[in-house]
Amino acid sequence: VPVALITGITGQDGSFLAEQLLAAGWTVVGMRRRSASPNLWRLQAILDRAQFRLVHGDLLDTGSLVRVLSDCQPDHVYNLAAQSFVPTSWEQPVYTGEATGLGCARLLEAVRAVCPGARFYQAGSSEMFGTGGGDVQDVHTPFHPRSPYGVAKVYAHHLTVNYRESYGLFAVGGILFNHESERRGEEFVTRKISRAVARIHLGRQAVLRLGRIDVKRDWGFAGDYTRAIHAMLLQDEPQDHIIATGRAWSVQEFAEKAFAVVDRDWRDHVEHDPALLRPAEITCLKGNPAPARAALGWEPAVDFDGLVVRMVEADLERERRA
Ligand code: NDP
Ligand code: GDP
C-alpha cells in the first residue's frame, strides 16, 4: 500500500486531501505540530481509520522532519503546512519566512537525505503573482508578491523547482488560486462572510465589518483543488501547474450572494472597517486553468454559486447546533 505524508494535516486542504487519498487506497500519515488545545475538528471523519495516523513534527525543527520521514518512508510528501494568513505575515514576517519559506527548505533537505525517491508537492499560491501579471496569470507570469507571505511562497516555489533541477527529485510546485470550503479558517474573507451571514440571520451578530470589497479573487472549492494536488504527483514527469477556475469575483459579490441565501440584502449588514485594509493589496487574481485541465484531466465539480451556498448552509447548521 502506498504511503503519503501530509504536513499541515490539521488545515483545510490537509483534511480533504487525506480523505481522498484514503478513499484511493493510500495509507496516510498526517504531520501536526504540538498544540495545547484540540485542533482535529476537520479530521473527525477519518481519525479512526486504520490506514490513517497522526505524528508530531514541526517545519521549524529539521530533526523532527528527518524522524517523521524515516519512520514512515513515504511515496508521496505533500507540504501543505504554512503560516498561511496574509495579514499575519506583516505582523510576523520573520516567523512567516521561517515556516512558509524555510520550512520547505528543511523538508526538501530531509527528503533528499532520507527518501530521495519520494515525490514531493509544494503548496504554492496565486499570492506569488501579486501585481506581476496581466489580466490572467499562468505559469509564465512573473512573480511580484505583495506580502511577506507571498515572498516566502516564492522562495519555497523556486526552491522546489531548483531541487528538481539540481538533484532530480520528483518535486512539483502547484500554484493554487484561492480555494474555500466550510472547513476554511474563520479569518479568511469567504468564511468570515458565511459565518457572519449565519450568525446575523440567527440574531447572534449585529454587523459584518470588512476591508476592501472591490478586490477580486478566483475562488474555487478546496475539495476540487486537492484532487488536482494528488494528480500532480501522479504525472509521468514532474510539471508545475496553475489550479484555478478562470473567473474572478469581488468580495462584494461573495457577500451579495451569501446574504441572498438567507433572503437578506448585504447592504443592510456590512460596514467598512479601515483597520482591515492591508499595507499592500492585490486587486485582482485570475488564473488560466486550461493547461492543468489538459495535462491532469482535472475538472472542478463545484462552481462559485454552489460554493457560496454550501458554505452558508454549513455555517447555519453549525450555528444552530451550537
Ligand atoms: P491552513 O491555514 O488551513 O493550514 C495550515 C496548516 O499548516 C495547519 O495544519 C497548521 O497547523 C500547519 N502549520 C503551520 N505552521 C506549521 C509548522 N511550523 N509546522 C507544522 N505545521 C504547521 O491552510 P490551507 O489548508 O488553506 O492551505 C494549505 C496550503 O496551501 C498552505 O501552505 C497555504 O498557504 C497554501 N495555499 C492555500 C490556498 C487557499 O486558498 N486555501 C491558496 C494557495 C495556497 P495548526 O493547525 O497547528 O495551525
Ligand atoms: P488572501 O487572498 O489569501 O489574502 O485571502 P483572504 O480571504 O484573507 O482575502 C481575500 C481578499 O479579501 C483580500 O484582497 C482582502 O483584502 C479582502 N478582504 C476584505 N475584507 C476582508 C476581511 O475582513 N478579512 C479578510 N481576510 N480579507 C478581507
Query: Over the stretch 146-186, which tens digit does the pLDDT of each residue have?
Result: 999 999 999 999 999 999 999 999 999 999 999 999 999 99
Dump pLDDT digits (tens) for 52-105: 999 999 999 999 999 999 999 999 999 999 999 999 999 999 999 999 999 999
Predicted TM-score of the model (pTM): 0.98
Is residue 197 within 8 A of residue 260, CB to CB? The reply is no
Atom 12, ligand 2: residue with shortest CA distance: 189
Report the share of the chain in percent with pLDDT over 70.
100
> Atom of ligand 1 at shortest distance to CA of 60?
18
pLDDT for residue 32: 98
Instruction: Please name the residues in contact with 117: beta carbons below 8 A apart, sequence gap of 6 or more.
Output: 170
The pLDDT, as a whole number, for residue 133 is 79
Cα 84 to ligand 1 centre (Å): 5
Q: Categorize the per-residue pLDDT at 272 as very low, low, confident or very high, splitting at 50, 70 and 90.
A: very high
User: Per the structure block, which three cell numbers stand in for 17?
Assistant: 486531501
Mutate to test the pocket of ligand 2, among 129, 189, 252, 253 (most ligand atoms within 8 A of CB): 189
Which residues sit opposite 252 in a β-bridge? none
147 counts as catalytic: no
- Ligand 2 geometric centre to CA of 38 (Å): 26
First to last CA, the chain: 40
- Confidence bin at 134 (pLDDT 50/70/90): confident
Alpha helices, H only, the chain: 12-23, 62-72, 86-91, 93-96, 103-114, 148-167, 189-201, 222-233, 251-261, 290-296, 304-321
Query: What stretch of H or E contains 73?
Result: none
The yes-or-no verdict on residue 251 having pLDDT over 90 is yes
What pLDDT shows up at residue 27? 98
> Which has the closest alpha carbon to 179: 195, 194, 191?
191
Contact 123, 159 (CB under 8 A): no
Return d(Cα 262, Cα 192) in angstroms, integer. Answer: 16
**Positive or negative: CA dihedral 130, 131, 132, 138:** positive
How does residue 132 score in pLDDT terms, banded at 50, 70 and 90?
A: confident
- Ligand 2 lined by 214 (C-beta under 6 Å): no
Measured distance CA(261)–CA(242) in Å, rounded: 31
Instruction: State which amino acid sits at residue 229.
Output: I
Q: Is the CB of 178 under 6 A from ligand 2?
A: yes
251 C-beta closer than 6 A to ligand 2: yes
Which ligand sits closest to the CA of 187?
Answer: 2
Pocket flag, ligand 1, residue 228 (CB < 6 Å) = no
Q: Which amino acid is at 289?
A: P
Number of other residues whose CB lies within 10 A of the CB of residue 217: 22
284 CB less than 6 Å from ligand 2? no
| Chain-centre distance for alpha carbon 318 | 22
**Is 149 annotated in the active site?**
yes
At residue 263, the pLDDT reads: 98
- Give the ligand at the shortest distance from the Cα of 177: 1
Query: Is the CB of residue 7 below 6 angstroms from any atom belonging to ligand 1?
Result: yes
Is there a catalytic annotation at residue 250? no
Where do we find the cell 447572534? 204
Q: Name every residue whose Cβ is closer than 8 Å to that of residue 144 and which is 6 or more positions away in sequence.
A: 129, 130, 131, 132
**Does the beta carbon of 45 lie inside 6 Å of ligand 2?**
no
Q: Considering 64, 125, 147, 181, which one is annotated as catalytic?
A: 125
Does residue 86 line the site of ligand 2, with CB under 6 A? yes
List pLDDT tens digits, range 219-246.
999 999 999 999 999 999 999 999 999 9
Question: Angle formed by the axes of helices 189-201 and 251-261, to 10°?
Answer: 30
Cα-to-centroid distance, 189 and ligand 2 (Å): 5
* Residue 292 phi, psi dihedral angles, 5° rounding: -70, -40
